[in-house]
DNA sequence: CTATAACCGTACCGAACGGTACGGTACGAT
DNA sequence: ATCGTACCGTACCGTTCGGTACGGTTATAG
């Protein structure tokens, strides 16, 4: 009652608004488009508040990552009585979601930011991005794979290896190409077909029917 | 005779030395580690020469990419009388080379640079990187696939799709993770095993024996 | 009414960087 | 000897940006 809005973050609503504004600036202008003065102007707040809330610029960037990560809900389809077709649908949905997430404006901008900061100094932004953003996707997918294996829909020896293969089949080199800004790579209208094909290939490799030639590594 | 050294570039030897120095600076310090003043100091040249040779900073970056790309030799194994085992070895070698290239210090630094510049302004560095660096790798691989198909070792309908699948099986999410600077991802000692497994899986998908379930898209 | 706290807007500072200008030097051509 | 060219090293300029300081404003508590 005294807290009508669930605190999505460790941040105030006002701070979240500022962080959203910062994300928008980052998306539209890249790293150089996000300056403390510009953010203060765009968000109608003072630079002093920004520094009080987030410490310094790196703190702001970390907060932006944390804030954005707190927005994505990890869809947990635990699959009670999941038959083969349902399992396949879940996998396809995961593939589609993954492509959607990776091709999102904010995701691309944050990944570009973290990658740009990855070399000079130990800014740990990359770790933060992986830990806060990717980890829960990985967990969701691997739980799904585990459930599929338990029900005999697929077979594998190494869960992480199987997941990484699935990831590779879905994403291929799309992520890097989008990060590089190559025109004509982002085709959300083809995500359905890409997800279908990736899952098709994944079943060809790990489907329970094909036990004959298990990868010998 | 009058030109004992083959002109690898469109650049003077002196300019190439400066570009190499710039690449080294970029590798060690990231984008912020590469300043015109710092480059002039490290390469024992004047800033004026840098600007005369390369125009401006973006010209320097483009020249660095072109210079680096001119170094990698495109290994052309056209495979006369290439039997199945030989084709498989070629594919594995390609996979290994790809992992080596993508995990190289200079490659990672240049990709980070291009990705960082990808958002703000139309710097076209990403396009340049893909066109000069990736394209010839793609060509080499697709020529190899084509030869393998012609000899009946593999089967596919769409050459590019097959290649992208091969790429995904080899690289997975390794490239992005390395770009993000995640510790413990670069394991060159495992490249052999990874290449083997990727090729194994590629044959499971596109090997000539398994014509039964062609991907219906 | 007053004190305190949070915050906005603006002004300011110092450092770094891209880019330019200039004096000095080595060297080949005439 | 002299001219032109290419280059080095340094100094310089304008701008931008991260970070700080300060005065003015709202609002809540006592």
Q: What is the pLDDT of residues B22-36, one digit of tens each?
A: 999 999 999 999 999
Percent of chain A with pLDDT over 90: 80
Residues of B with Cβ-Cβ distance to A92 under 8 angstroms:
none
pLDDT digits (tens, 9 = 90+) for A130-139: 999 999 999 9
Through-space separation of residue A130 CA and nucleotide D18 C1' in angstroms: 27
The 3 state secondary structure assigned to A183-216 is CCCCCHHHHHHHHHHHHHHHHHHHECCCCCCCCC
More confident of the two residues A98 and B215: A98
Q: Which residues of B56-77 are buried (b: 16+ CB within 10 A; e: fewer)?
A: eeeebbbbbbbbbbbebeeeeb
**Inter-residue contact B56 to B35 (CB < 8 Å):** no
Residue A24, pLDDT > 90, answer: yes
Q: Which of A5-19, A73-87, B96-110, B202-216 has the lowest mean pLDDT?
A: B202-216
Number of CB pairs, chain A paired with chain B, less than 8 A apart: 154
Q: What is the pLDDT of residue A194?
A: 98
pLDDT per residue over A182-199, tens digit each? 878 999 999 999 999 999
Report if CB B45 to strand D is under 7 Å.
Answer: yes
Mean pLDDT is highest, among A116-120, A206-210, B131-135, for B131-135
8 Å CB contact of B120 and A32:
yes
Of B30, B33, B126, the CB nearest to A181: B126
Query: What mean pLDDT value characterizes chain A?
Result: 90
Does strand C come within 7 Å of the CB of B35?
A: yes
Any idea which of A46-50, A77-81, B51-55 has the lowest mean pLDDT? A77-81
pLDDT at residue B6 in the model: 47
* A175 closest CA partner among B195, B168, B101: B168
Going by pLDDT thresholds of 50, 70 and 90, the confidence category of residue B72 is: confident
The pLDDT score that the predictor gives to residue B4 is: 40
Task: Report the pLDDT value the prediction gives residue A1, as an integer from 0 to 100.
Answer: 40
Under 8 Å CB-to-CB from A59, ≥6 apart: which residues?
Answer: none
CB contact under 8 A, B30 and A118: yes
In the prediction, which pLDDT does B2 show?
39
- Look at the block and give the residue holding tokens 């300056």: A35
Q: Which nucleotide is nearest to B51 (CA to C1')?
A: C19
B216 touches strand D (CB under 7 A): no
Check pLDDT > 70 for residue A213: no
- In chain A, which residues have their Cβ closer than 8 Å to the Cβ of B213? 204
Q: How confident is the model at residue B120 (pLDDT cuts 50, 70, 90)?
A: confident
Residue B48, pLDDT score: 96
Across A68-102, b (16+ Cβ under 10 Å) vs e yields bbbeeeeeebebeebeeebbbebbbebbbbbbeeb
Is residue A203 within 8 Å of A88, Cβ to Cβ? yes
Using DSSP's 3-state secondary structure scheme, residue B207 falls into strand
Contact flag B115-A112 (C-beta cutoff 8 Å): yes
Per-residue pLDDT tens digits for A45-56: 999 999 999 999
Q: Can you tell me whether residue A154 is helix, strand or coil? A: strand
Instruction: Give the residue from chain A lying closest to B212, CA to CA.
Output: A204
Lowest mean pLDDT, pick from A10-14, A18-22, A93-97, B69-73:
B69-73
Q: Give contacts of A167 with chain B, Cβ < 8 Å.
A: 172-173
Pick from A58, A60, A38: nearest CA to A50: A60
pLDDT given for residue B1 in this prediction = 40
| CA B150 remoteness from chain centre | 26
């Amino acid at each position: 009652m005294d807290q009508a809005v669930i605190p999505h973050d460790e941040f105030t609503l006002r701070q979240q608004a500022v962080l959203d504004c910062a994300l928008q600036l980052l998306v539209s202008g890249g790293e150089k488009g996000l300056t403390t003065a510009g953010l203060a102007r765009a968000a109608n707040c003072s630079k002093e508040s920004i520094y009080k809330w987030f410490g310094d610029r790196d703190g702001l960037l970390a907060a932006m990552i944390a804030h954005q990560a707190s927005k994505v809900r990890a869809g947990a389809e635990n699959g009670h009585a999941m038959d083969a077709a349902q399992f396949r649908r879940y996998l396809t949905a995961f593939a589609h979601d993954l492509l959607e997430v990776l091709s999102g404006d904010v995701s691309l901008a944050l990944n570009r930011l973290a990658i740009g900061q990855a070399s000079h100094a130990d800014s740990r932004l990359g770790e933060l991005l992986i830990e806060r953003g990717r980890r829960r996707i990985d967990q969701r997918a691997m739980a799904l794979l585990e459930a599929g294996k338990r029900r005999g829909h697929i077979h594998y020896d190494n869960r992480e290896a199987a997941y990484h293969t699935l990831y590779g089949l879905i994403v291929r080199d799309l992520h890097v190409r989008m990060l590089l800004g190559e025109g004509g790579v982002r085709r959300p209208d083809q995500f359905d077909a890409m997800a279908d094909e990736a899952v098709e290939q994944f079943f060809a490799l790990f489907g329970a029917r094909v036990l004959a030639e298990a990868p010998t590594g």
